[in-house]
Structure 1
Amino acid sequence: MARCGRVAADASFWPTAHGRIYAMDTTITLFLLQDGTINGAIYALLSVAFVLLFTVTRIIFIPQGDFVAYGGLTLAALERGETPGSVWLLLAMGIVAGLIEMVRERHRLNRRRLTTIVALDFILPAALVAMAVLLAPLRLTGVGAILLTLAIIVPMGSYIYRICFRPLSDASILVLLIASVGVHWLLTGLGLVFFGAEGYRTTSLVATNFTVGPLFITGQSVLMLLTTVAILAALYLFFGRTLAGKALRASAVNGRGARLVGISPYSSGQLAFAMATFIGAVSGVLISPMTTLYYDSGFLIGLKGFIAAIVGGFASYPLAVVAALFIGLSEAFAAFWASAFKEVIVFSLIIPILLWLSLRSTHVEED
């Protein structure tokens, strides 16, 4: 995803002297390790989001990668001075979610609850639309554009949960998975409508570059790694030190028990979706200066995070992160040795893992 093309190009100029080939091997290996680590960092964030959503809501959220594309393409639209189409999707989602909430609570709807629904589902999206329309012609860049992008994308997660998944909260995992696939195809089709078929990149957030030995390291890649570590550390502190984080953990361990002690599964679901959407949007912002994003780019990126989550058993955050780094490194080396079969090699890695997991675990019927 980062510089595999450059590495492959360097390989075509290898001299034939035995000692020189060994030196080039070392340099190429360092480049591939660098690329694999950068790619693995993004896959690690997405794998953590997959695990978070599944443990709290039992949803295998296939559209997680779509928020990567939506985040990057929304930022690119703001930098070009265009109003991003995603803001209209946000407004439509807010209106639909608000209307559904009113119908659901029509028998016990009071003034305070109605005010909350109107503020969060109607006024907030409308205000973000107004901000995007007014500020987009200014060609926002930097922190301002990123904050507006996150403000547009992050609420979509809780809206999707309330519209599509809350009515199915008691359904089986298979039904939730089918609904998740439907949401993915809907977001992909709308992405084509809103952003077009052309790919875009954004301006690098850090222009400083430097070299370490033979490696050329961009400031953007360093920012990506530091942001990944910061988010993972923040999640660790959130789940271990805050009341909301402990409530999510309780919902993940035993949803029925959490409900008995006053923890709302719907509030937990909304919070989990908002966090996962935030992770996806931030990932899109981070990688958009390094790779061209298209309306459907998120699916393949998210799928690799999904594989890492499977390796972690959709339960272990550390194992999912380690698996994501392994996938990133495998992808980098596969792109060098057999670029035409890169995706085949990466996705084939899951077969022995699934066989091992199926042999060492006992099947438990779902409640």
Structure 2
Amino acid sequence: MRPISYSRATAVADAVAAVAADPTSDFLAGGTTEVDLLRQNVLLPRRLVDINDLPLTQIEDRPDGGVYIGALARMSEVAAAPAVRERYPMVAQALELGASAQLRHMASMGGNMMQRVRCGYFRDATSPCNKRDPGSGCSALDGFNRGHAVLGVSDHCIATHPSDVAVPLVALDARIHTEGPRGRRVYPIDDFFLLPGNTPHLEHPLEHGELVVGIEVPGLPAARTSLYTKVRDRESYEFALASVAATVTVENGVIGEVRLALGGVATKPWRARRAEEVLRGAPARTETFARAAREELAAARTVPLNAFKAELAQRTVVRVLETLTPPESPS
């Protein structure tokens, strides 16, 4: 058994200083995935700094109509918050679909942003994995890869990003607030998640000891009519094969503002910018939705076991957009 030292921090500055001073240390919040990875010898810290006593549980209104969510706010608390349910239904939906009730009560929002992939080869300490052991290879490329990514992949990693709630947050252009050895930083959420490229072990642009302290969701009136849909193998707690978060406005049958993001199919929460370009200013019709989905998934890079995901994602995009838009008038 490996010895691990443990301490609790009561101030953000103390937590940051403790972890920054020791390259073998890490933060511990809800622990819903980190403890599993410790048991599996996938993560090997020598010291854990418990941050659960830090004052980071707020869910606050912002002047622009947005919401600021503290990193230690629990998923269940955020999903139940009236401001979130009313202004960003797709965020509440993603949280409720993202985990069992027990996990939602424990898991923190900041931890969700930092959670590691569910790739079985990453979580098997004996299998080659470039995320866990850079340069060792990617076992998933020629292994069991039915659940793996088809967008944003590289020759070094095809692991799917696991978060549900990060998908609507990417669609909403949320911002991640951190405190670290260099002080306060704010990251656009799309920049917070890194593509694997040649360095799949680097998942975020954070330096060691930099702590996520909050998530800022900007005000967006259109998001009051939004939807998160998740397709999975079973209705009980399961990760997405494909998911879509969307908000769209339509005036006189023409699409105006649209925001679209995909989950379950990419190596990071995937902002569907190609599809948005096709949709914006186009007729709100099924054929438009299908064309936008095809454009987005044209870049899909599949392997035999996950080739179905490209079409599944397209069908899910169409389904969500049809649900959010008025039915076509008969000609």
Higher helix proportion (structure 1 or 2): 1
The structure that has the greater radius of gyration is: 1
Higher strand proportion (structure 1 or 2): 2
Higher relative contact order (Cα pairs below 8 Å, separated by 6+ residues): 1
TM-score normalised according to structure 1 size = 0.25
